[in-house]
Structure 1
Amino acid sequence: MKFSHSIQFNAVPDWSTHYIAYSNLKKLIYSLEKQIHQNAGTGSTDAESSPLLDGSIDDPDKVFTSALDNELEKISSFYQLKELEILGEVDSLLKDEEEYEHEQESVEIEQTQGPPGSRGMNRSGRARTGSIFGNFGFRRSSMSRSRDLEDDGDSDDDDDERSALTRSKIRERQSTWDSQHDELRNSTGNVSRRRESNADDFVEHSFASLYDTGLTLKKRIVSLYVSLCELRSFIQLNKTGFTKVLKKYDKILDRDLKSSYLNEKVNSAQVFQKNTMNRLSEKLEKVEHAYANVVTKGDIAEAKRELRLHLREHVVWERNTVWREMIGIERKAQAANMGIKQTVLGHSIDPREAVLQGDDPHPNVKEISTPIGRYTCPTWLLSPTFYTLVVILAIFFILLFIPLDLSREQQNCLAMVVFVSLLWATEAIPLFVTSMAVPFLVVVLRVVRSDQKPHNRLDSKRAASYIFGAMWTPVIMLLLGGFTIAAALSKYNIAKMMATFVLSKAGTKPRTVLLTSMFVAMFASMWISNVAAPVLCFSIIQPILRNLPADSNMSKALLLGIALSSNIGGAASPIASPQNLIALQNMEPQPGWGIWFFIALPICIISIVLIWLLLLVTFKPGHKTTIVPIRPMKDRFSGIQWFVSIVTVATIVLWCVSHQLEPVFGDMGVIAIIPIVLFFGTGVLTKEDFNNFLWTIIILAAGGLALGKAVNSSGLLHTIAGSITASVEGYSLYSVLLVFTSLILVIATFISHTVAALIVLPLVQTVGQGMSEPHPNLLVMGSVLMCSAAMGLPTSGFPNMTAIMMEDSQTGQRYLQVKHFITRGVPSSILTFVVVISLGYGLMIAAGL
């Protein structure tokens, strides 16, 4: 969680304006950075360009220090007043607690010796037994019962707390009190029954009064304990805020202000002095002892446990009420300001209207007019998604029952393939949900046949075992190994440190920065997937984007270049994207990592250079553009980072030589277990990291593998491939490669790359196997390379979707539009296509595919 969000979430709501203005200080840092950069480029100072700086940036330390001083004064003044108020209440509480102790002792003496005027009744003196909550128990008289009835209307909270905290203890002590009472009664001898009744009433009234006083005192203790903890948290949060904002200032402006300001100003301020925290700790300790004396019979450990429970309940309540409302209001306001249109089940809603009118922005029903009247129906019935599902289901049932020249299992399989492919292509329901439906349809439609001749249809039980076995393969294990490595490299900033180091060497020439950024994105995509790589690179180039005009062509070229390079980088290694793993599943024998690098890396490098030239020609990013240099991260490699790096490199080396080590490991999927065991077993990664894996991608891949297995088992794939093979009979291998690479390029442009691979690659493999000169691996390899190169639309791959959502932090406007992807993405796809069918074909032939 970002600290700006953390300080909002952990601050005391009533004190929110008195915390360090972390977000405003960050904005000031960015303003200083931009102003310094602009003046460095123009050689002049514009007093109106940044009103936050008062027109002076000769000494940015002075400007920023002045802002910090204002924040420090605000925090110190508030703390002094709040400390005086709370500590005064604590002192008053401790005095009341001491008086309560004396009163409790006197009541216990009266319990054992009787009230004034009846001292002779009991001659057995007793020492104090502990908290009134622990030993309080008496038979309720009619007076006490009537008193309870009178107070019942306005003491719900007291009753709840009594029942929750003390009722069990009262019951435990009831028998003790009864035995004491019997002993006292026996010892009185001939005392009259009336005097005994008066004594009982007196003791009952004394204990009732004492109990109410103790309950009030307990509530005060809990309240002050929470206040003291909030005061301590106030100090800690603000101290952390000064540390973090100074660190950010030094990093962005390349200064060295942090240590001097912390030592001279922050640490010397009264609010942050060590004796201030010690004073709070002492008061907290005294409050804990007071709680122990009043509630837990002197048990300090139990008192601390109960007070922490009260504190936790207070924090949970506060976050679930006050902050939830505040955050909800803030989000609505942001949506209204930006004019975002929300779509709920196909119904377009303007949040500004909903907020202003007080309406629910998520209507569930809508009234429609028909020739026979007006009717109300659920909104999902009117959404395009619903009609799409209806059409797909209709096609599915038509294919199931119309007569075709296919066997029953093949016709059922054809209907299933079309049904699943349409759901994947339209995303009418989530992709992974469609994948989960594959084994269900396979079993219910009985499309699986036995592997041995005669190929009889399997019954449901054997079909279920067959298809679920096909969903977990070494490829899925390889995907998990790739996710593990990516998680470790990201969590410990190894990928970011490497990326910033390379970008820091790029200098300030726009064309060099653009090319370097594109290659960094490609390299990152090889190891942390082309899903995470663009996010990482976009965060690294934020200093550049902040200091460029909103309409700068350099900003557009950078974002688009990183997105297109991340797409290309998705083909650079077997674990870079899911479609590569699907390709490996359809290649026999599977090529090693060395062969994959031999083919893919030259294609990726040359394609990126060509795309770079295209961006230079079309955007002209160097025109009147000055780049802020990226600074490398100065942190040294820790022991954990070295461990992660060594394990990652060792795993990659083993993957590269997996064919030579096949007698030892058997498959690359087994090698993938090594980083999983080492990282999770040593605590480098936790179960939370494991839960954060892209399980939807894994389920999608597993469903695709199951679909391919079912299509092959039913014989449908063989039938379709036979027809296509007959159509391309007499075509050369190169011509068939052109057909399939063109086909998958078009398909993957409009639907997910992974989905395109799931649908097309099994067919490509079977057609290649059926050719007079079989080259199935070559066709699959060429097709999967083009699958990653499909990037002509904003929806063509996750990198493109990430890039088009990037916005200018000041104006809120998007950097890129759809036209930028069409005018640069489509030519980039064509350029990569040319590289694959020329250089790529030669490399695949040379590699023996």
Structure 2
Amino acid sequence: MKFSHSIQFNAVPDWSSHYIAYSNLKKLIYHLEKSVHQSGPSDVETRPLLTNEDPETVFSRALDVELEKISSFYTVKEKELFDEVDELLRDIENVASDEDGDAFAAGRPPMHHTTSEQIGHHRGPRSSHSGPSVRSTEDGIEDSDEDDEDADETAALTKKRRSISGSAGGMARRRTVPNLMLNSTDLTASMTENTKSRRYSTTFDDYAETAQLYSDTIMLKKRIISLYVQLCELKSYIQLNKTGFSKVLKKFDKIVDRELRAKYIANHVQSAYPFLDDRIPELDDRIQQMVDAYAEYVTQGDVQAAKKDLRSHLREHVVWERNTVWRDLIGIERRAEAATLGSALLGGRVDGSKLRLQGDEAPKTPMREIETPVGRLTCPTWLFGTTTFTLIGIIAIFVALLLAPIMEKPEQQNCLAMLVFVSLLWATEAIPLFVTSLLIPFLCVLLNVVRADDKPYKRLNSKEATAYVFAAMWTPVIMLLLGGFSVAAALSKCTIDKRIATFVLSKAGTRPSTVIIANMFVAAFASMLVSNVAAPVLCFSIIEPMLRNLPTGSNMSKAVIMGIALASNVGGMLSPIASPQNVVALGIMEPPPTWGEWFFIVIPVGIVSLVLIWVLLLLTFQPGKGTTIVPIRTVRERFTGVQWFVSIVCISTIALWCASHQLESTFGDMGVIAILPIVIFFGIGILTKEDFNNFPWTIIILAAGGLSLGKAVKSSGLLHTIAEEISKEVDGMDLYGVLLIFSGLTLVVATFISHTVAALIILPLVADIGRNMDEPHPNLLIMAATLMCSAAMGLPTSGFPNMTAIMKEDSTGQRYLQVKHFISRGVPASVLTLAVVVTLGYGAMRVIGM
């Protein structure tokens, strides 16, 4: 959780205006950043307000105001609570002496203090109060700096409440209300008067005396609990504000490139009254006094039982607040995020499970009534949407292909119907892509499309076909994909990818053209290591300070965002694990190329493509006009031991993948090598089961379904039949002509549908056509088609990097890029990459003997 959210959720509502104004200080930092980097003339609306004074002086002045506010409030609140503690202790002594005195006068043994079991736990917000400023017992504050439960009286609250607390939604839970109990003076006077006027022989008076003592016990217990909670809150108030000063100063030093943090904390924060070294111990002593008083008066001297009992009240408060204040607050924020998500999706479909995560309750399905011959029927409105009619049309085509006599053999006829059915579902996304993939093994078995691999190619029964299809779904290629995800997760979790990217970008300087090409190469390199899905998100986070300081509508911001998106697409071809289509290609190629062979082909293609796209962006955007670039600074922290270890494991794994052919007698396949990073990272705890659960399993299911589809189409003989027909059409054409045809076809198809789906549909067909040619080169055609799947970037929906880029917004909520920018730059970029693949890439593939 961000600290700005943490301080909002953990602040005591009545004290909310007395905490450090963390969000306002962050805004001031961004204003000061602009004043530093926008020294030239600018328009009045975008010019920062603070331009003349030194940023360090301005920020120190703002911190001084916050520090004075916190110190003044703490001084008053501490005196108020300490006075109440002293008053409470005096009242307890008076009550105890009166009890013993009354018991002696009545000829009875001294009355034991009532136990917590007899009194029962106090529960419910603002039930009663003692003294003019006693607060509700339900309050508490998060204290994330303390771990020792015995040493820290707030630990009971901390353990249960890491990410929740009261905020604006709970402002009403702590109010000073008129006293509903006897104050200390009234209590003492009442007890004295009772002693003087009591008639010891009257049974009724004995009952009244017992009832009065019982009432006094409840009131004193409530006061102890209330003060205990408030003291814990005051202790957390110190710690939360101290953390706030440290974090906001660290952010100032990072963004404005100063070294104010250590100096200001030493000279100002540590010398302020709330943050003196003796304040926390003094609060701990007062908290311990409340524990001792509770133990003496309620738990018959058992201090551990008193601690446990007091902490139980804090836990009860957490449960109550989870079900009221905190839940309402988070529900409001989630609904706001859901509204933002809905408006940002450009009218696209949103998965129902995603919507359910945005609020406390699942959204109600809109219903519609229709007339039927048997009466009125209520149905969900989605049944009448375009998706439903699309599904009906696809199913109708599927049934028609099953019945139409197109192929001679029934297994091929059924396989053709299944292939068209699955391809249409993938292309239209009428249902989620991975769900369509799960249909493939079901249809393969149900339609009996699988044949034996050896002659006489008999059709397998359902049981045999089940084993065949599921064996095709889990292959070494899927394990390679999991290994790639593990490497990417470890690099991201240890921020190694960000450190490398930041280091490279810090060397780019401030020339717009240099900054753009540097960002493009970083995005491509990141895509090669951590996939082209995560790479653009990483790069956008790094350039955020630069974008924040560019003028509104700047062509530089458009050019750098577009460059990162297009470079990430190109980066999707740079390694076998950079994108799912590469993994699918490795599963089809026979034999699959090594990592070294892959790099020999794609590195020259990628570098030349990036340079051509860079020139295209410079010519079309002209980003250098009136642009001032904020330089990106390197991360100053040294590499930790864990980061060095993760780097060594990742480099070693990639080296083994590159040498997989030479090590085939030892490891057998790259999929077996992929087990090493999985076992190491998860085995020693660098990655956890949560990281494993967060793997993109939908992509894995999609790839597994595609592999099983390719195996089924090949097994049924349909692929061979179609390839023979296409081969007749291209008969007489040389290899290069066939390469041009299928490279262009793949580029067009992948532009309009998912890159991975295009690979799943086209690559098996291209492979069989390549095998049936007079000069067989199946791997060459597969490799070219795979590269063209990544090169398809003409539309915002052509790939994950494009979709991430078009959703990027500035501080005013306006998107940097529009659809027209992708059509006018993405389409030429795709054509340029196609030209590089069929020239430079073709030459490299022939050199290595594909």
1:84 aligned residue: 79
* Structure-1 separation of matches of 2:339 and 2:584: 44
Answer yes or no: is the 8 Å Cα contact 2:589–2:778 preserved in 1. Answer: yes
2:522 aligned residue: 520
Alignment of 1:28-43 (within 5 A): 28-39=28-39, 41-42=40-41
1:10 and 2:5 correspond: no
Tell me the alpha carbon deviations over residues 709-753 of structure 1, each in whole angstroms, 9 at most, x when there is no partner.
222223222222222223222221112211221121111111111
Displacement of 1:676:
1.4
Q: 1:456 aligns with which of 455, 458, 463?
A: 458
Displacement of 1:253:
1.2
* Structure-1 separation of matches of 2:242 and 2:497: 30
Displacement of 1:585:
0.6
| Pair 381,226 (structure 1): closer, same or farther in 2 beyond 3 Å | farther
Answer yes or no: is the 8 Å Cα contact 2:46–2:551 preserved in 1. Answer: no
1:173 aligned residue: none
Tell me the alpha carbon deviations over residues 324-364 of structure 1, each in whole angstroms, 9 at most, x when there is no partner.
434554666788899948899979xxxxxxxxxxxx99672
* Structure-1 separation of matches of 2:219 and 2:312: 18
Tell me the alpha carbon deviations over residues 743-793 of structure 1, each in whole angstroms, 9 at most, x when there is no partner.
211111111111111221122222222222221111111111111000001
* Structure-1 separation of matches of 2:798 and 2:820: 14
1:255 aligned counterpart, secondary structure: coil
1:562 aligned residue: 564
Letter in 2 for 1:415: A
1:235 and 2:218 correspond: no
2:52 aligned residue: 57
1:304 aligned residue: 307
2:145 aligned residue: none
Answer yes or no: is the 8 Å Cα contact 2:114–2:217 preserved in 1. Answer: no
Answer yes or no: is the 8 Å Cα contact 1:789–1:829 preserved in 2. Answer: yes
2:626 aligned counterpart, secondary structure: coil
2:284 aligned residue: 281
Q: 2:251 aligns with which of 231, 235, 248?
A: 248
Deviates more, 1:285-294 or 1:593-602: 285-294
Tell me the alpha carbon deviations over residues 134-162 of structure 1, each in whole angstroms, 9 at most, x when there is no partner.
5899xxxxxxxxxxxxxxxx999xxxx9x
| Pair 258,767 (structure 1): closer, same or farther in 2 beyond 3 Å | same
Displacement of 1:597:
0.4
| Pair 386,271 (structure 1): closer, same or farther in 2 beyond 3 Å | farther
* Structure-2 separation of matches of 1:412 and 1:402: 10
Answer yes or no: is the 8 Å Cα contact 1:728–1:736 preserved in 2. Answer: yes
Alignment of 1:201-216 (within 5 A): 213-216=216-219
Deviates more, 1:216-225 or 1:527-536: 216-225
Displacement of 1:222:
3.9
Letter in 1 for 2:248: V
Deviates more, 1:623-632 or 1:433-442: 433-442
Answer yes or no: is the 8 Å Cα contact 1:579–1:753 preserved in 2. Answer: yes
Displacement of 1:669:
1.2
Answer yes or no: is the 8 Å Cα contact 2:35–2:48 preserved in 1. Answer: no
Displacement of 1:654:
0.9
Displacement of 1:205:
7.6
| Pair 47,717 (structure 1): closer, same or farther in 2 beyond 3 Å | closer
Letter in 1 for 2:776: P
Alignment of 1:673-822 (within 5 A): 673-809=675-811, 811-822=812-823
Letter in 1 for 2:314: L
Displacement of 1:500:
1.1
Alignment of 1:305-320 (within 5 A): 305-320=308-323
| Pair 410,85 (structure 1): closer, same or farther in 2 beyond 3 Å | farther
Answer yes or no: is the 8 Å Cα contact 2:56–2:260 preserved in 1. Answer: yes
* Structure-2 separation of matches of 1:773 and 1:86: 91
Letter in 2 for 1:24: N
Tell me the alpha carbon deviations over residues 448-501 of structure 1, each in whole angstroms, 9 at most, x when there is no partner.
233333333333333333322222221111111111111111112211111111
Deviates more, 1:744-753 or 1:429-438: 429-438
Alignment of 1:189-200 (within 5 A): none
Displacement of 1:116:
3.7
2:825 aligned counterpart, secondary structure: helix
* Structure-2 separation of matches of 1:341 and 1:816: 13
* Structure-2 separation of matches of 1:21 and 1:320: 28
| Pair 829,284 (structure 1): closer, same or farther in 2 beyond 3 Å | same
| Pair 471,346 (structure 1): closer, same or farther in 2 beyond 3 Å | closer
| Pair 97,447 (structure 1): closer, same or farther in 2 beyond 3 Å | farther
1:73 and 2:68 correspond: yes
Tell me the alpha carbon deviations over residues 292-338 of structure 1, each in whole angstroms, 9 at most, x when there is no partner.
44555544444434544432442354355324434554666788899
1:274 aligned counterpart, secondary structure: coil
Answer yes or no: is the 8 Å Cα contact 1:471–1:703 preserved in 2. Answer: yes
1:191 aligned residue: none
2:133 aligned residue: none
1:412 aligned residue: 414
Letter in 2 for 1:748: A
Q: 1:611 aligns with which of 600, 613, 616?
A: 613
Deviates more, 1:682-691 or 1:514-523: 682-691
1:352 aligned residue: none
Letter in 2 for 1:233: S
Alignment of 1:88-103 (within 5 A): 88-98=83-93
Tell me the alpha carbon deviations over residues 579-616 of structure 1, each in whole angstroms, 9 at most, x when there is no partner.
11111011111111000100011000000000000001
| Pair 342,515 (structure 1): closer, same or farther in 2 beyond 3 Å | closer
* Structure-2 separation of matches of 1:99 and 1:701: 78
Alignment of 1:50-199 (within 5 A): 50=47, 52-53=49-50, 56-98=51-93, 116=106, 132-133=115-116
What is the TM-score normalised by the length of structure 1? 0.83
Letter in 2 for 1:821: F
| Pair 209,538 (structure 1): closer, same or farther in 2 beyond 3 Å | same
* Structure-2 separation of matches of 1:627 and 1:649: 34
1:825 aligned residue: 826
Answer yes or no: is the 8 Å Cα contact 2:115–2:299 preserved in 1. Answer: no
| Pair 288,584 (structure 1): closer, same or farther in 2 beyond 3 Å | farther
Give the number of equivalent residue pairs.
Answer: 764
* Structure-2 separation of matches of 1:820 and 1:779: 31
Displacement of 1:65:
1.1
* Structure-2 separation of matches of 1:461 and 1:470: 15
Which ranges of structure 1 fall in alignment gaps of 5 or more residues?
Answer: 120-124, 138-153, 162-197, 348-359
Letter in 2 for 1:304: K
Tell me the alpha carbon deviations over residues 83-107 of structure 1, each in whole angstroms, 9 at most, x when there is no partner.
3344444444444555666678789
Deviates more, 1:337-346 or 1:515-524: 337-346
Displacement of 1:637:
0.6
Displacement of 1:537:
0.7
1:23 aligned residue: 23
2:431 aligned residue: 429
* Structure-2 separation of matches of 1:753 and 1:807: 25
2:403 aligned residue: 401
* Structure-1 separation of matches of 2:432 and 2:93: 65
2:848 aligned residue: 847
* Structure-2 separation of matches of 1:446 and 1:99: 91
Tell me the alpha carbon deviations over residues 407-431 of structure 1, each in whole angstroms, 9 at most, x when there is no partner.
3333332222222222222222222
Letter in 2 for 1:78: F
Displacement of 1:217:
4.4
Deviates more, 1:300-309 or 1:477-486: 300-309
Letter in 2 for 1:412: N
| Pair 200,740 (structure 1): closer, same or farther in 2 beyond 3 Å | farther
Tell me the alpha carbon deviations over residues 673-729 of structure 1, each in whole angstroms, 9 at most, x when there is no partner.
111122122222222222222222222222222222222223222222222223222
Deviates more, 1:778-787 or 1:426-435: 426-435
2:636 aligned counterpart, secondary structure: coil
Letter in 1 for 2:823: I
2:272 aligned residue: 269
* Structure-1 separation of matches of 2:716 and 2:342: 52
* Structure-1 separation of matches of 2:9 and 2:454: 63
| Pair 217,345 (structure 1): closer, same or farther in 2 beyond 3 Å | farther
Deviates more, 1:762-771 or 1:572-581: 762-771
1:440 and 2:438 correspond: no
